[in-house]
Chains A and B, each alone.
Chain A
Amino acid sequence: MLFINRLFSGGVAVPHRKDTAEIETVVMDIPSKVIIPMAQHSGAPCRPTVKTGDIVKVGQLIGESDAYISAPIHSSVSGVVKRVEPMLYASGHLVMSVEIEADKKQELSEDIKAPVVNSREQFIEAIRRSGLVGLGGAGFPSHVKLSPPKDKKIDYLIINGAECEPYITSDYRECIEFAPYIIKGIQLALDMLEIPRAIIGIEDNKPKAINLLKEKSKNDSRISVYSLPSRYPQGAEKTLIYTVTGRKVPPGKLPADVGCIVFNVNSISFMAKYIETGIPLIKKRVTVDGNVVREPKNVEVLIGTSIGDVFEFCGGFVSSPYKVLMGGPMMGIAQYSLETSVIKNTNAILAFDKKEGDLPPETPCIRCGRCATVCPMNLLPQEINRFVMAGRYDELHKYHVLDCIECGNCSYICPAKRHLVQSIRLGKDAVRRNAKKA
Chain B
Amino acid sequence: MTEIGIPVIIVSGLGLLFGLLLSYASKKFEVKPDEKIEIIRGLLPGANCGACGFTGCDLYAEAVAGGAGINLCPVGGMDLAEKLAEIMGKETAACEKYIARVMCKGTWDNVSIKYDYDGIVDCRAAAQMAGGPSSCIYGCEGMGSCKKVCLFGAIEVENGLARIIEEKCAGCGKCIAECPKGIIKMVPARSEYSVSCSNHEKGAVARKNCKVACIACQRCVKECPENAITIVDYCAVIDPGKCVNCGKCILVCPTGAISKYTGYQ
Contacts and interface: CB of A to CB of B under 8 A. Distances in A.
Q: Do A and B bind each other?
A: yes
Given A423-B120, A426-B125, A93 B114 contact: no
Interface string B112-138: 001100111010110011110000010
Contacts of B120: 389, 419, 422-423, 426
B130 A426 contact: no
7 residue pairs, one from A and one from B, having the closest CB atoms? A92-B130, A336-B115, A426-B125, A336-B114, A422-B119, A419-B120, A419-B119
Main secondary structure of the interface of B (DSSP, over half): loop
B124 A426 contact: yes
A359 B114 CA distance: 18
Contact of B115 (A334, A359, A425, A429): A334
B118 A359 contact: yes
Contacts of A361: 118
B124 A429 contact: yes
A426 B122 contact: yes
A337 B125 CA distance: 20
A295 B255 CA distance: 47
A244 to B, nearest CB: 33
A423 B125 contact: yes
A93 B114 CA distance: 12
A389 B131 CA distance: 20
A352 to B, nearest CB: 14
A337 B131 CA distance: 14
A425 B131 CA distance: 15
Given A334-B115, A419-B120, A92 B131 contact: yes
Nearest to A85: B202
Interface in B82-125: 114-115, 118-120, 122, 124-125
A93 B129 CA distance: 9
Interface residues of B, number: 14
A423 B114 CA distance: 22
A333 to B, nearest CB: 9
20 contacts: A91-B130, A92-B129, A93-B130, A93-B131, A94-B137, A334-B115, A334-B129, A336-B115, A336-B130, A337-B114, A391-B148, A419-B119, A422-B119, A422-B120, A422-B128, A423-B120, A423-B125, A426-B124, A426-B125, A426-B128
Of A334, A422, A430, the most chain B CB neighbours within 10 A belong to: A422
Contacts of B148: 391
Nearest to A337: B114
Contacts of A93: 130-131, 137
Contacts of B125: 422-423, 425-426
A150 B120 CA distance: 45
A92 to B, nearest CB: 2
B150 to A, nearest CB: 13
A429 B137 contact: no
Contacts of A91: 130
Interface in A318-358: 334, 336-337
B173 to A, nearest CB: 15
Of A91, A92, A430, the most chain B CB neighbours within 10 A belong to: A92
Interface in B58-83: none
A371 to B, nearest CB: 16
Contacts of A337: 114
